[in-house]
Protein backbone atom coordinates (compact mmCIF):
# COMPACT_ATOMS: atom_id res chain seq x y z
CA UNK A 1 0.00 0.00 0.00
CA UNK A 2 1.36 3.41 -0.99
CA UNK A 3 2.22 5.74 1.88
CA UNK A 4 0.94 9.18 0.92
CA UNK A 5 2.59 10.66 3.99
CA UNK A 6 5.97 9.67 2.55
CA UNK A 7 5.11 11.47 -0.66
CA UNK A 8 4.08 14.56 1.32
CA UNK A 9 7.29 14.49 3.36
CA UNK A 10 9.38 14.14 0.21
CA UNK A 11 7.64 17.11 -1.39
CA UNK A 12 7.84 19.26 1.75
CA UNK A 13 11.50 18.50 2.49
CA UNK A 14 12.56 19.27 -1.08
CA UNK A 15 10.51 22.49 -0.93
CA UNK A 16 12.33 23.31 2.29
CA UNK A 17 15.58 22.93 0.36
CA UNK A 18 14.76 26.11 -1.58
CA UNK A 19 14.34 28.05 1.67
CA UNK A 20 17.58 26.52 2.97
CA UNK A 21 19.60 27.48 -0.09
CA UNK A 22 18.17 31.01 0.00
CA UNK A 23 19.31 31.11 3.63
CA UNK A 24 22.82 30.08 2.56
CA UNK A 25 23.02 33.30 0.57
CA UNK A 26 22.53 35.35 3.77
CA UNK A 27 24.13 33.28 6.53
CA UNK A 28 27.87 33.80 7.29
CA UNK A 29 28.84 30.36 5.96
CA UNK A 30 30.73 29.55 2.80
CA UNK A 31 28.53 29.52 -0.31
CA UNK A 32 28.94 30.11 -4.04
CA UNK A 33 28.04 33.81 -3.81
CA UNK A 34 27.02 35.90 -0.80
CA UNK A 35 24.76 38.85 -0.11
CA UNK A 36 26.45 42.18 0.64
CA UNK A 37 25.27 41.78 4.25
CA UNK A 38 25.20 38.50 6.22
CA UNK A 39 23.23 37.81 9.39
CA UNK A 40 24.75 35.92 12.33
CA UNK A 41 21.37 35.04 13.89
CA UNK A 42 20.41 33.03 10.81
CA UNK A 43 23.00 30.42 11.79
CA UNK A 44 20.70 29.00 14.48
CA UNK A 45 17.64 28.12 12.32
CA UNK A 46 19.97 27.04 9.52
CA UNK A 47 21.87 24.74 11.86
CA UNK A 48 18.58 23.30 13.08
CA UNK A 49 17.50 22.43 9.53
CA UNK A 50 20.96 21.19 8.67
CA UNK A 51 20.73 18.48 11.34
CA UNK A 52 17.98 16.41 9.74
CA UNK A 53 17.07 17.68 6.26
CA UNK A 54 19.53 15.45 4.35
CA UNK A 55 19.25 12.37 6.58
CA UNK A 56 15.47 12.26 6.18
CA UNK A 57 15.82 12.48 2.39
CA UNK A 58 18.12 9.46 2.32
CA UNK A 59 15.75 7.58 4.65
CA UNK A 60 12.76 8.38 2.44
CA UNK A 61 14.81 7.28 -0.59
CA UNK A 62 15.55 3.98 1.15
CA UNK A 63 11.84 3.53 1.82
CA UNK A 64 11.07 4.27 -1.82
CA UNK A 65 13.62 1.64 -2.83
CA UNK A 66 11.62 -0.97 -0.91
CA UNK A 67 8.53 -0.20 -2.98
CA UNK A 68 10.51 -0.09 -6.24
CA UNK A 69 11.99 -3.55 -5.62
CA UNK A 70 8.60 -5.16 -4.99
CA UNK A 71 7.83 -5.11 -8.73
CA UNK A 72 11.36 -5.33 -10.17
CA UNK A 73 14.25 -7.75 -10.27
CA UNK A 74 17.68 -6.60 -9.14
CA UNK A 75 18.75 -6.00 -12.74
CA UNK A 76 15.59 -4.08 -13.58
CA UNK A 77 16.01 -1.96 -10.48
CA UNK A 78 19.64 -1.17 -11.34
CA UNK A 79 18.71 -0.09 -14.88
CA UNK A 80 15.84 2.02 -13.57
CA UNK A 81 18.13 3.75 -11.06
CA UNK A 82 20.69 4.51 -13.78
CA UNK A 83 18.02 6.03 -16.02
CA UNK A 84 16.46 8.11 -13.26
CA UNK A 85 19.69 9.25 -11.56
CA UNK A 86 22.63 9.08 -13.97
CA UNK A 87 20.93 10.63 -17.02
CA UNK A 88 19.68 13.72 -15.08
CA UNK A 89 23.11 14.02 -13.46
CA UNK A 90 24.94 14.11 -16.80
CA UNK A 91 22.37 16.47 -18.31
CA UNK A 92 22.50 18.71 -15.25
CA UNK A 93 26.30 18.90 -15.20
CA UNK A 94 26.31 20.01 -18.84
CA UNK A 95 23.37 22.41 -18.93
CA UNK A 96 22.01 23.25 -15.44
CA UNK A 97 25.15 23.66 -13.32
CA UNK A 98 27.40 25.75 -15.65
CA UNK A 99 25.42 29.01 -15.07
CA UNK A 100 26.06 28.62 -11.33
CA UNK A 101 29.80 28.18 -11.86
CA UNK A 102 29.87 31.09 -14.32
CA UNK A 103 28.16 33.45 -11.86
CA UNK A 104 30.53 32.47 -9.04
CA UNK A 105 33.61 32.93 -11.22
CA UNK A 106 32.39 36.34 -12.39
CA UNK A 107 31.60 37.51 -8.84
CA UNK A 108 35.02 36.35 -7.61
CA UNK A 109 36.77 38.00 -10.60
CA UNK A 110 37.97 34.65 -11.87
CA UNK A 111 36.34 35.10 -15.28
CA UNK A 112 35.32 38.01 -17.47
CA UNK A 113 33.05 37.88 -20.46
CA UNK A 114 29.57 36.81 -21.45
CA UNK A 115 28.08 33.44 -20.55
CA UNK A 116 28.62 32.04 -24.04
CA UNK A 117 32.28 32.97 -23.76
CA UNK A 118 32.28 30.57 -20.81
CA UNK A 119 29.94 27.83 -22.06
CA UNK A 120 30.69 25.43 -23.64
CA UNK A 121 34.34 26.15 -24.40
CA UNK A 122 35.55 26.68 -20.82
CA UNK A 123 32.72 25.24 -18.73
CA UNK A 124 34.23 21.73 -18.60
CA UNK A 125 37.90 22.52 -18.14
CA UNK A 126 39.23 21.19 -14.83
CA UNK A 127 37.32 20.15 -11.74
CA UNK A 128 35.63 22.70 -9.50
CA UNK A 129 36.61 24.71 -7.47
CA UNK A 130 39.92 25.24 -9.27
CA UNK A 131 38.30 24.29 -12.57
CA UNK A 132 34.75 24.56 -13.82
CA UNK A 133 33.26 21.05 -14.06
CA UNK A 134 30.99 20.32 -11.10
CA UNK A 135 27.75 18.70 -9.99
CA UNK A 136 27.13 21.32 -7.26
CA UNK A 137 23.73 20.69 -5.58
CA UNK A 138 23.18 17.58 -7.73
CA UNK A 139 25.71 15.71 -5.57
CA UNK A 140 22.73 13.88 -4.04
CA UNK A 141 22.26 11.94 -7.32
CA UNK A 142 25.65 10.15 -7.63
CA UNK A 143 25.61 9.28 -3.93
CA UNK A 144 22.09 7.87 -4.17
CA UNK A 145 23.02 5.94 -7.31
CA UNK A 146 26.08 4.46 -5.60
CA UNK A 147 24.09 3.41 -2.52
CA UNK A 148 21.30 1.93 -4.62
CA UNK A 149 23.65 -0.26 -6.67
CA UNK A 150 25.95 -1.32 -3.82
CA UNK A 151 23.08 -2.39 -1.55
CA UNK A 152 21.09 -4.39 -4.13
CA UNK A 153 22.28 -7.78 -2.75
CA UNK A 154 21.29 -6.75 0.79
CA UNK A 155 17.90 -5.47 -0.34
CA UNK A 156 17.18 -8.60 -2.40
CA UNK A 157 18.05 -10.83 0.56
CA UNK A 158 15.71 -8.90 2.84
CA UNK A 159 13.01 -8.95 0.18
CA UNK A 160 13.30 -12.71 -0.36
CA UNK A 161 13.51 -13.60 3.35
CA UNK A 162 10.68 -11.68 5.02
CA UNK A 163 10.42 -14.26 7.81
CA UNK A 164 14.11 -14.25 8.74
CA UNK A 165 15.27 -14.01 12.35
CA UNK A 166 16.69 -10.56 11.58
CA UNK A 167 13.32 -9.27 10.41
CA UNK A 168 11.64 -10.73 13.50
CA UNK A 169 14.20 -8.99 15.74
CA UNK A 170 13.78 -5.74 13.83
CA UNK A 171 10.03 -5.88 14.27
CA UNK A 172 10.41 -6.36 18.03
CA UNK A 173 12.75 -3.42 18.59
CA UNK A 174 10.67 -0.89 16.62
CA UNK A 175 7.64 -1.61 18.76
CA UNK A 176 8.91 0.83 21.40
CA UNK A 177 10.43 4.31 21.29
CA UNK A 178 13.49 3.09 23.19
CA UNK A 179 14.02 0.36 20.61
CA UNK A 180 13.94 2.92 17.80
CA UNK A 181 16.72 4.85 19.51
CA UNK A 182 19.04 1.86 19.06
CA UNK A 183 19.43 3.10 15.49
CA UNK A 184 21.53 6.02 16.73
CA UNK A 185 24.33 3.70 17.91
CA UNK A 186 26.05 3.33 14.51
CA UNK A 187 25.30 6.98 13.74
CA UNK A 188 27.05 8.01 16.94
CA UNK A 189 30.25 6.10 16.15
CA UNK A 190 30.34 7.56 12.65
CA UNK A 191 29.78 11.09 13.99
CA UNK A 192 32.29 10.73 16.83
CA UNK A 193 35.08 8.79 15.14
CA UNK A 194 34.89 9.44 11.39
CA UNK A 195 33.52 12.96 10.97
CA UNK A 196 36.57 14.74 12.52
CA UNK A 197 38.93 13.16 9.98
CA UNK A 198 36.88 13.47 6.78
CA UNK A 199 35.31 16.91 6.26
CA UNK A 200 32.23 16.98 4.05
CA UNK A 201 33.18 17.72 0.42
CA UNK A 202 30.36 16.14 -1.67
CA UNK A 203 33.10 15.19 -4.14
CA UNK A 204 32.37 11.45 -3.65
CA UNK A 205 36.05 10.47 -3.85
CA UNK A 206 37.43 10.56 -0.31
CA UNK A 207 34.20 11.92 1.19
CA UNK A 208 34.05 9.05 3.64
CA UNK A 209 31.99 10.60 6.41
CA UNK A 210 29.21 11.62 4.03
CA UNK A 211 29.28 8.26 2.26
CA UNK A 212 29.14 6.15 5.44
CA UNK A 213 26.64 8.36 7.23
CA UNK A 214 24.25 8.65 4.28
CA UNK A 215 24.40 5.00 3.23
CA UNK A 216 23.46 4.06 6.81
CA UNK A 217 20.44 6.40 6.59
CA UNK A 218 19.51 4.93 3.22
CA UNK A 219 19.70 1.40 4.64
CA UNK A 220 17.69 2.45 7.71
CA UNK A 221 14.91 3.67 5.44
CA UNK A 222 14.68 0.29 3.74
CA UNK A 223 14.78 -1.58 7.07
CA UNK A 224 12.10 0.54 8.72
CA UNK A 225 9.66 0.17 5.84
CA UNK A 226 10.02 -3.62 5.87
CA UNK A 227 8.26 -3.85 9.25
CA UNK A 228 5.41 -1.76 7.83
CA UNK A 229 2.64 -0.87 10.29
CA UNK A 230 4.76 -1.78 13.31
CA UNK A 231 7.02 1.20 12.60
CA UNK A 232 4.22 3.58 11.63
CA UNK A 233 2.15 2.75 14.70
CA UNK A 234 5.11 3.41 17.01
CA UNK A 235 6.11 6.77 15.52
CA UNK A 236 2.51 7.95 15.32
CA UNK A 237 1.71 6.94 18.89
CA UNK A 238 4.87 8.48 20.38
CA UNK A 239 5.34 11.42 18.01
CA UNK A 240 5.09 13.98 20.84
CA UNK A 241 7.78 12.16 22.83
CA UNK A 242 10.13 12.30 19.84
CA UNK A 243 9.33 15.98 19.38
CA UNK A 244 10.15 16.78 23.02
CA UNK A 245 13.41 14.82 22.86
CA UNK A 246 14.33 16.69 19.69
CA UNK A 247 13.68 20.09 21.26
CA UNK A 248 15.58 19.16 24.42
CA UNK A 249 18.62 17.64 22.67
CA UNK A 250 18.99 20.56 20.25
CA UNK A 251 18.68 23.10 23.07
CA UNK A 252 21.26 21.31 25.23
CA UNK A 253 23.61 21.02 22.24
CA UNK A 254 23.43 24.79 21.64
CA UNK A 255 24.10 25.49 25.31
CA UNK A 256 27.05 23.09 25.30
CA UNK A 257 28.59 24.82 22.27
CA UNK A 258 28.12 28.27 23.82
CA UNK A 259 29.32 27.34 27.32
CA UNK A 260 32.37 25.16 26.65
CA UNK A 261 35.38 25.51 24.41
CA UNK A 262 36.05 22.85 21.81
CA UNK A 263 37.72 19.78 23.32
CA UNK A 264 37.75 16.01 22.94
CA UNK A 265 35.20 15.68 25.74
CA UNK A 266 32.86 18.23 24.24
CA UNK A 267 33.20 16.53 20.86
CA UNK A 268 31.97 13.15 22.12
CA UNK A 269 29.08 14.67 24.06
CA UNK A 270 28.13 16.91 21.14
CA UNK A 271 28.23 13.94 18.76
CA UNK A 272 25.73 12.08 20.94
CA UNK A 273 23.43 15.08 21.21
CA UNK A 274 23.64 15.65 17.46
CA UNK A 275 22.57 12.13 16.46
CA UNK A 276 19.91 11.99 19.18
CA UNK A 277 18.57 15.31 17.95
CA UNK A 278 18.45 14.49 14.24
CA UNK A 279 16.96 11.04 14.85
CA UNK A 280 14.30 12.46 17.17
CA UNK A 281 13.21 15.07 14.63
CA UNK A 282 13.08 12.45 11.88
CA UNK A 283 10.92 10.13 13.99
CA UNK A 284 8.70 13.05 15.01
CA UNK A 285 8.23 14.10 11.39
CA UNK A 286 7.30 10.55 10.39
CA UNK A 287 4.88 10.37 13.32
CA UNK A 288 3.08 13.64 12.58
CA UNK A 289 3.02 12.89 8.85
CA UNK A 290 1.49 9.47 9.53
CA UNK A 291 -1.16 11.07 11.70
CA UNK A 292 -2.13 13.99 9.47
CA UNK A 293 -0.76 13.53 5.94
CA UNK A 294 -1.45 9.93 4.92
CA UNK A 295 -4.07 10.85 2.35
CA UNK A 296 -3.86 11.46 -1.38
CA UNK A 297 -4.87 14.61 -3.20
CA UNK A 298 -4.56 16.16 -6.64
CA UNK A 299 -2.04 18.66 -5.29
CA UNK A 300 0.10 15.80 -3.98
CA UNK A 301 -0.08 13.90 -7.29
CA UNK A 302 1.08 16.98 -9.20
CA UNK A 303 3.75 17.97 -6.66
CA UNK A 304 5.15 14.46 -6.33
CA UNK A 305 6.10 14.42 -9.99
CA UNK A 306 7.24 18.06 -10.03
CA UNK A 307 9.61 17.75 -7.06
CA UNK A 308 12.50 16.11 -8.97
CA UNK A 309 12.63 18.72 -11.77
CA UNK A 310 12.25 21.46 -9.13
CA UNK A 311 15.24 20.03 -7.27
CA UNK A 312 17.35 19.98 -10.45
CA UNK A 313 16.40 23.51 -11.53
CA UNK A 314 16.02 25.50 -8.33
CA UNK A 315 19.58 26.43 -7.35
CA UNK A 316 20.52 27.72 -10.78
CA UNK A 317 17.43 29.93 -10.87
CA UNK A 318 18.05 31.08 -7.31
CA UNK A 319 21.68 32.06 -7.96
CA UNK A 320 20.74 34.00 -11.10
CA UNK A 321 18.24 36.02 -9.04
CA UNK A 322 20.79 36.36 -6.22
CA UNK A 323 23.38 37.77 -8.63
CA UNK A 324 21.10 40.68 -9.49
CA UNK A 325 20.10 41.54 -5.90
CA UNK A 326 23.31 40.77 -3.99
CA UNK A 327 24.66 44.33 -3.97
CA UNK A 328 21.37 46.18 -3.59
CA UNK A 329 20.77 47.96 -0.29
CA UNK A 330 17.50 46.17 0.35
CA UNK A 331 16.34 44.43 3.51
CA UNK A 332 16.79 40.74 4.21
CA UNK A 333 13.03 40.21 4.04
CA UNK A 334 12.64 41.85 0.64
CA UNK A 335 15.60 40.09 -0.95
CA UNK A 336 14.68 36.70 0.52
CA UNK A 337 11.05 37.08 -0.59
CA UNK A 338 12.07 37.93 -4.16
CA UNK A 339 14.45 34.97 -4.26
CA UNK A 340 11.95 32.48 -2.80
CA UNK A 341 9.00 33.58 -4.93
CA UNK A 342 11.18 33.91 -8.02
CA UNK A 343 12.78 30.50 -7.54
CA UNK A 344 9.46 28.72 -7.02
CA UNK A 345 7.81 30.69 -9.83
CA UNK A 346 10.43 30.20 -12.53
CA UNK A 347 10.95 26.55 -11.50
CA UNK A 348 7.23 25.98 -11.95
CA UNK A 349 7.14 27.74 -15.33
CA UNK A 350 10.05 25.65 -16.63
CA UNK A 351 8.58 22.45 -15.23
CA UNK A 352 5.06 23.04 -16.51
CA UNK A 353 5.90 24.29 -20.01
CA UNK A 354 9.38 22.94 -20.81
CA UNK A 355 9.64 19.66 -18.88
CA UNK A 356 6.28 18.13 -18.02
CA UNK A 357 4.68 18.34 -21.46
CA UNK A 358 7.59 17.09 -23.61
CA UNK A 359 8.16 13.34 -23.56
CA UNK A 360 11.76 13.55 -24.80
CA UNK A 361 12.68 16.18 -22.20
CA UNK A 362 11.10 14.38 -19.25
CA UNK A 363 13.82 11.66 -18.93
CA UNK A 364 16.47 14.38 -18.68
CA UNK A 365 14.79 15.40 -15.42
CA UNK A 366 14.28 11.87 -14.11
CA UNK A 367 10.65 11.48 -15.26
CA UNK A 368 9.07 8.75 -17.33
CA UNK A 369 8.34 9.71 -20.94
CA UNK A 370 4.60 9.45 -20.60
CA UNK A 371 2.89 11.76 -18.12
CA UNK A 372 -0.51 11.50 -16.50
CA UNK A 373 -3.08 14.07 -17.54
Which DSSP string do the residues of 199-248 spell out, in sequence order? -----STT-HHHHHHHHHHHHHHHHHHHTTHHHHHHHHHTHHHHHHHHHH
What is the reported pLDDT for 371? 58
Q: Reply yes or no on whether the pLDDT at 162 is more than 60.
A: yes
Of all residues in the chain, what percent carry a pLDDT higher than 70? 99
Q: Give the confidence band of 181 by pLDDT, cuts at 50, 70, 90.
A: very high
* Number of Cβ within a 10 Å radius of residue 32: 23
Question: SS3 of 359, please?
Answer: coil
Mean pLDDT of all residues belonging to the chain: 96
- Residues 8 and 293: beta-carbon distance below 8 Å: yes
Compute the distance between CA of residue 318 and CA of residue 340 in angstroms, rounded to an integer.
8
- Residues 154-158: contacts with CB within 8 Å, 24+ apart? 154/219, 155/65, 155/66, 155/69, 155/222, 156/69, 156/74, 158/222, 158/223, 158/226
- Residues 297 and 3: beta-carbon distance below 8 Å: no
Q: What is the pLDDT of residues 303-350, one digit of tens each?
A: 999 999 999 999 999 999 999 999 999 999 999 999 999 999 999 999
- Residues 315 and 100: beta-carbon distance below 8 Å: yes
Q: What is the pLDDT of residues 2-55, one digit of tens each?
A: 799 999 999 999 999 999 999 999 999 999 999 999 999 999 999 999 999 999
Q: What is the pLDDT of residues 230-254, one digit of tens each?
A: 999 999 999 999 999 999 999 999 9
Q: Reply yes or no on whether the pLDDT at 1 is more than 70.
A: no
Q: What is the pLDDT of residues 265-294, one digit of tens each?
A: 999 999 999 999 999 999 999 999 999 999
Amino acid sequence: MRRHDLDWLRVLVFALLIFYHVGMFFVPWNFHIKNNHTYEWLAFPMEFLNQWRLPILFIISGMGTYYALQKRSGKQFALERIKRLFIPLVFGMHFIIPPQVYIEKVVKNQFTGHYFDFWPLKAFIGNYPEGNLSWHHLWFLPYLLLFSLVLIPVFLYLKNHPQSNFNAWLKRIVQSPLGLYLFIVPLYFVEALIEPFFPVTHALIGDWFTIINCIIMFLFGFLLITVKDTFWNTVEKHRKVFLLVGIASFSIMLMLIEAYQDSIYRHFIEAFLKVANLWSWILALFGFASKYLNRKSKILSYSNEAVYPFYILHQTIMLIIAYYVMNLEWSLGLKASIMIVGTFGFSWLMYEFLVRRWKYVRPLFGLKKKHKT
